[in-house]
């Protein structure tokens, strides 16, 4: 089963919307650092769901795991954000299987693969 780590910059209500295989960052540590979340997800081969560009940077530098789902929807109300991600979730999970990252845009999903990084696996 694919496990998802939802970053603190996304609402906890996504856990209920996306199902039992999700854990919100606040359940791991109060105000968990990006480094802690990266390592936690990497060690467990979990996917990180985030709005944070820092995880994209880490993915470029270190490679995956973890895989990243990067929410790039702009400013939305919390309920609209949760509904938008929820309505695309099955397609997102299908795309992430063969990629390192999926970007969620207002009008599309983009799946990306990256070449192996020379510092792969370090952080």
Domain boundaries, the chain: 4-112
In tens, the pLDDT along 41-67 reads 999 999 999 999 999 989 888 888 899
The secondary structure of 65-110 as a DSSP string is: SSEEEEE---S--HHHHHHHHHHHHHHHHHHHHT-SEEEE-SS-EE
> With 50 as the cut, is the pLDDT of residue 111 above it?
yes
Structure tokens at 114: 């990256």
> With 70 as the cut, is the pLDDT of residue 117 above it?
no
In tens, the pLDDT along 75-110 reads 889 999 999 999 999 999 999 999 999 999 999 999
What's the pTM?
0.90
pLDDT band for 118, please (50, 70, 90 cuts).
low
Contact between residue 107 and residue 93 where contact means Cβ atoms under 8 Å apart: no
């Amino acid at each position: 089963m694919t496990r998802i780590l939802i970053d603190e910059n996304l609402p906890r209500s996504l856990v209920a919307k996306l199902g039992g295989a999700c854990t919100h960052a606040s359940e791991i540590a109060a105000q968990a650092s990006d480094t802690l979340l990266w390592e936690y997800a990497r060690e467990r081969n979990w996917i990180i769901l985030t709005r944070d560009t820092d995880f994209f940077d880490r993915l470029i530098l270190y490679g995956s795991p973890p895989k990243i789902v990067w929410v790039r929807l702009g400013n939305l109300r919390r309920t609209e954000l949760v509904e938008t991600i929820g309505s695309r979730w099955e397609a997102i999970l299908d795309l992430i299987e063969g990629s390192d990252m999926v970007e969620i845009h207002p009008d599309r999903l983009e799946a990306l693969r990256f070449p192996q990084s020379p510092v792969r696996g370090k952080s």
